[in-house]
Structure 1
């Protein structure tokens, strides 16, 4: 790294970015003192981990970004890692938010819903749950026991008669009927007890209420309470109390396997083991475990996640930069002593705990297990992670794919692209993302092209899309899969090579199998004879029909084909309905577009209040009344 000028490296907190010869970011780190932290990389090879040695050999330059505090550096580091996904960082690839229960307590009539995002709006959140199906089943069970409203705030404000759930005995109907708010709030309190893991306390309360109702000869009420008790017991029978106290905590366990490091997380809420999740990073050894834990914590918790009051890590973490032997090569010119180089941060968790405390709104403590109960939980998390890493087949498929396609690294992140149009009209390019074998649906994207831009030329559209994709920047895929043959692959590669990005990521194309009678593409999913093409290679890659690696690519191809087709059909339907909307007085092309961007159907538009319509760009109160009247008439005709 001849381009580094040691004296230009600031003595401030901040973030540093190592880059390779092509200017690509290969590692992002944070420091309490940038100059001291960077000096620690230039020690004898024997004192560095294998991953760090490989990174230092590949790096040719380093950029620094100063911050006002170590906490700001931590947050910036996590953001840059998620954005650029550098090759030598511990990257949390499955960083999706899990299912949570949301109770809108500030509303006069609170509602219980499922969500993946935490919004600081005064609502109470409970979870997380990794299984969306299990969360939905629990939600349905709670709704059958406690008759809370289900309709959205908009529907609640505009209802003139109770909905079907009221007639089915599953809602009290506070939208239209004179419901006792105190009784409703009492139900909300019981729901909170249940979701907080205090089911035993709730059952005792209901048991006493049932006895009181029975003694008062209110047998109908007593029977209702009896049914509630039975339903709650069925809901919580699978939960296991693991702590004597009612604490919330996340517990981490790390396991070393023959292929890398596995990390398990257990979610304990109210002293009850609620759920768990496992992660895996191939090619890492136990010496990288401290960095993995720190990097995981920084990326996993964010503004839209629930942060518990305590996070248990497997062991106490100390600054893992070096071992104290021999001065760094760089430290002489920096005028730093051994102690100064090694003292970048006395407590690497302090800044993280401070940042998480701000997110939670109260103190968050991070540390090793305390007592036998927490030690058992760490062991449980470690065992679960090791077992899933052992039984998971996804790593094997990635290894086989990398070998078959001649890739330098495993294809953890795969983007697939497909074009859909009808005679060159309403052209849409769909992109789906798979990470570690699972669809990352929040990263799916649709690119729209006008009829003039596309002209029915799939090759031209793919080339135009590739230019847009390069402009949007990282995260880059490990593998880009194009739905098509050699022509589609060539269109994409010509743009990459023209931009000097031919080696930025691997590219392959998957072509549909051909039917024997007509020699046309067989559009059935998972055609056994599908072909895989690579740039610069005439013959397709040899993949056995029905092999795991080919089935995996076919799964991704079918996902992007279905997605792009749905986007195209929606565009066609939108074009037709936009014309229908323009028949309403006061709605022109631009306003029709605004309405379709805000609402997903005519029904949603008609259900919206005048205030909601008036709040949209270009609509005032008077125009909102005319539009709402026209939408009501259109809905009646339909």
Structure 2
């Protein structure tokens, strides 16, 4: 790529996007001063190999200016998540983790499992990376402490206690069988347990059990005994690491033979509650500073950060480049030597009794920023740029900028710190041990090897990191749906699944042909491989639709079809592993061995797409059936039927609705609500 005209580059903070010849974003970066940052990529020497490779594929450059550096940081994280650029360090697994939520403002709070914390006054506990483990804990807590499980709407519409009440696991607040004061005793005990105050809770429960036994209240004593056992089973999984308590996340890095691993340990109320590990192939330890800053910005854009985040060391500011500072300034970029010296001074390492003595070889002095990507001095160092009015205020360092941004998300202060004492050292050691295990597990085998073998088997240009699979479902041509599932790095990305409502048609070929235009309208990111559930006919239909749209070579195609039995029909027997894979340039299917890892992986992707689209089709069919049932009643048209279905979700809930419930619906007045109540009461 040719060096752009400096006058065409703004001097404000913002984000720059490098694109290839096909218009795909291949790198996203932020800058305090866009002109200085972009021009640093075109130095005559000193560019890392990674940067030179990116520039060799770049064909154009776009800019998005912001008013502050904080806005640029948030915009960079959002664009990386959207475009998944090839040359960025991308957090592939950025799903929302499981949290427990309890709303103390409700007279009868409910402990529920959610995926996102909101600023709604409720209390949140977690996170838990394993939804299965969280649900087991949730069930255990409900068996030990009687709390309601039903939603607010179901509780309001109940006319008799639920089954859990008769099992002794719900005090039936819906029927007024318990007062809010009595109910909230269990709520406080559950919150104490989830906050880590298990010792006080166990002491209170044991005292109550002994008192009940002495008073010959054996049923109450047995209930308290079961609660003690449940608490002990819950806390025995947690390892106490901070005697004084406290919440923090600890990060550890470990290089492998072919990549770099990062582990995250969650500490809540002084105990390790969970952890998570990530792996990036192709990175080395010299990429650690960029990895740490990029990970923090991307990960905590979706997860509420704790008040303290412990890093193995404080990386240098990526926009403080000693190599650039040493170079003579251009006419438009005069930098004071004193300002440069102040900005380029590295952070002092922690000292004293709490300093790390057993850190990894690279931890005491982090890799130089110039080894990662070309960087520039801060905006405060540029005292005479082409637009001086754009540079009046001192710039924030990378650490200060992240702390402010994360603090805004948490609605409280957040500190990014290096280890300060022996407890911090133990946490970092724990995180680094998990990172080493993750690097070993990933390099010993796994999804990346399967993708490499799959790319070779299908004669693709490289491993299909992003794989999309499409399937069609309908019943007699009605409620036709096309489902699209996405796998990235060999793992499903459920947040990117898409359900397309298509015109009713029993012709799968016509539906697929029409769907292609819908997919092209959605735009990038484009898949490295589009897998179609079907045979040669479906494959040629999609290929023809792409050719007619002028995008025949946009991405590779393949189709997966059931093997044939002795009679020449599709073999749909359970356990069949002899599916056939078709590609556009072959008449016969690919010679993939039955039960091979590549074929099993494609079958898993196809089955995932099939389950997804079947579920969406059945949901649409149920909605149509319910709407049809409602529309049989005089005075209820499609709009009202849709409104009732969206709000209540079932006939039983509609029949149980009160007049006030119906009046609260948008567009429903008192007269229409009374008419609906009468008609719904007669609905069988």
By how many angstroms is 1:600 displaced? 3.6
8 Å CA contact 1:508, 1:534 repeated in 2: yes
Match of 1:532 among 581, 589, 600: 581
1:606 is matched with which residue? 655
Asked whether 1:562 is paired with 2:611, we answer: yes
Cα deviation for residue 225 of structure 1 reads: 2.7
1:620–1:469 CA distance, 2 compared to 1 (3 A) = farther
Residue pair 2:171, 2:177 contacting (<8 A) in 1 also: no
TM-score, with structure 1 as normaliser = 0.92
Q: Which residue of 1 aligns with 2:491?
A: 438
Query: 2:94 maps to which residue?
Result: 95
Write the distance in 2 (CA, Å) between the matches of 1:43 and 1:611. Answer: 71
Cα distance in 1 between the residues matched to 2:511 and 2:575? 25
Output the CA distance in 1 between the equivalents of 2:492 and 2:426: 33
Contact 1:253 / 1:379 at 8 angstroms: preserved in 2?
yes
Matched, 1:426 2:479: yes
* 3-state secondary structure, aligned to 1:40: helix
> Given the superposition, is the C-alpha separation of residues 355 and 255 from structure 1 closer, same or farther in structure 2, using an over 3 Å criterion?
same
The structure 1 residue matched to 2:314, chosen from 288, 313, 316, is: 316
Contact 1:526 1:555 (8 Å CA) reproduced: no
- The residue matched to 2:26 in structure 1 has which SS? strand
Q: CA deviation at 1:14?
A: 1.0
Q: Distance in 2 between matches of 1:218 and 1:575?
A: 55
C-alpha distance after superposition, 1:176-223 (max 9, x if no partner): 225232232232221111101221222123234445556667665444
Q: Secondary structure at the match of 2:168?
A: coil
* Counterparts of 1:271 and 1:60, CA distance in 2: 51
Q: Is the 8 A contact 1:128 1:306 kept in 2?
A: no
Out of 521, 531, 546, the position equivalent to 1:496 is 546
Question: Cα 1:330–1:578, aligned 2, differ >3 Å: closer, same or farther?
Answer: farther
Match of 1:41, SS state, is helix
Contact 1:28 1:80 in 2 (8 A): yes
| 2:304 aligned with 1:306 | yes
CA shift digits 1:480-530 (9 cap, x unpaired): 21112233223223333444544443332212211221x122234664322
CA contact (8 A) 2:246 2:268 kept: yes
Please state how far the C-alpha of 1:41 moved relative to its aligned partner: 1.8
CA deviations 1:385-431 (Å, max 9, x no partner) are 33233234112111211222333443333221011224433321111
The alpha-carbon deviation at position 625 of structure 1 amounts to 3.5
Residues 418 and 564, structure 1, Cα contact 8 Å, conserved in 2: yes
Q: 5 Å matches for 1:107-506?
A: 107-211=106-210, 213=212, 220-302=219-301, 305-320=303-318, 324-325=322-323, 332=330, 334-335=332-333, 339=340, 342-344=376-378, 347-392=397-442, 393-451=446-504, 454=505, 456-506=506-556
Q: In the superposition, relative to structure 1, how do residues 525 and 215 fare at CA in structure 2: closer, same or farther (>3 Å)? A: closer
**CA distance in structure 2 between the aligned counterparts of 1:127 and 1:485, rounded to whole angstroms:** 46
**Are the aligned partners of 1:154 and 1:608 in contact in 2 as well (CA < 8 Å)?**
no
Q: CA deviation at 1:75?
A: 1.0
Evaluate the alpha carbon distance shift between residue 210 and residue 441 of structure 1 in structure 2; reply closer, same or farther with a 3 A threshold.
same
Deviates more, 1:596-605 or 1:539-548: 596-605
Show CA shifts across 1:260-285 (max 9, x none): 11111111111111111111112222
Task: Tell me, yes or no, if the aligned pair for 2:456 and 2:462 is still in contact at 8 Å.
Answer: no
Give the Å deviation of 1:110.
0.8
CA distance 1:342–1:461, shift in 2 (3 Å): same
Change (3 A) 1:478 1:632: farther
Q: Is contact 1:7-1:334 (8 Å) kept?
A: no
Superposition TM-score, scaled by structure 2 size: 0.86
Q: CA–CA distance in 2 between the matches of 1:476 and 1:113?
A: 37
1:600–1:53 Cα change, 3 Å: farther
Partner Cα separation in structure 1 for residue 476 and residue 431 of structure 2: 55
2:594 to 531, 534, 545: 545
Aligned alpha-carbon RMSD (Å): 2.6
Query: 1:155 Cα shift?
Result: 1.6
State the number of aligned residues.
629
Cα distance change, pair 614–473 in 1 and its aligned pair in 2 (3 A): farther
Could you tell me how far apart the structure 2 residues matched to 1:65 and 1:153 are? 44
Deviation, 1:573, is 3.7
Task: Please list every run of at least 4 consecutive aligned residues from structure 1 whose deviation after the TM superposition is greater than 6 angstroms.
Answer: 326-331
Shift of 1:19: 1.1
CA contact (8 A) 2:255 2:439 kept: no
- Distance change (3 Å), C-alpha of 1:466 and 1:174: same
Q: Is the 8 A contact 1:15 1:66 kept in 2?
A: yes
Q: Distance in 2 between matches of 1:476 and 1:600?
A: 36
C-alpha contact 2:324 2:376 (8 A) present in aligned 1: no
Shift of 1:599: 4.3
Please list every run of 5 or more consecutive structure 2 residues that lacks an aligned counterpart in the other structure. Answer: 344-374, 379-394
Task: Mark the CA change 1:538 to 1:290 in structure 2 (over 3 Å): closer, same or farther.
Answer: farther
**SS across alignment from 1:51:** helix
Report the secondary structure of 2:297's partner residue.
helix
Q: Does 1:576 align with 2:625?
A: yes
Q: Deviations over 1:135-168 (max 9, x none)?
A: 1111111112211111111122222332221221
CA contact (8 A) 1:42 1:329 kept: no
Q: Secondary structure at the match of 1:325?
A: helix
Q: Offset at 1:616? A: 3.8
Aligned residue in 2 for 1:40: 40
Cα offsets for 1:370-396 (capped at 9, x unmatched)? 222222222222222332332341121
Q: 1:272–1:8: structure 2 CA closer, same or farther, 3 Å change rule?
A: same
Deviates more, 1:321-330 or 1:84-93: 321-330
Distance in 2 between residues matched to 1:27 and 1:326, nearest whole Å:
21
- Is the Cα–Cα contact under 8 Å of residues 525 and 558 in structure 1 kept in the other structure? no
Is the 8 Å Cα contact of residues 254 and 439 (structure 2) preserved in structure 1?
Answer: no
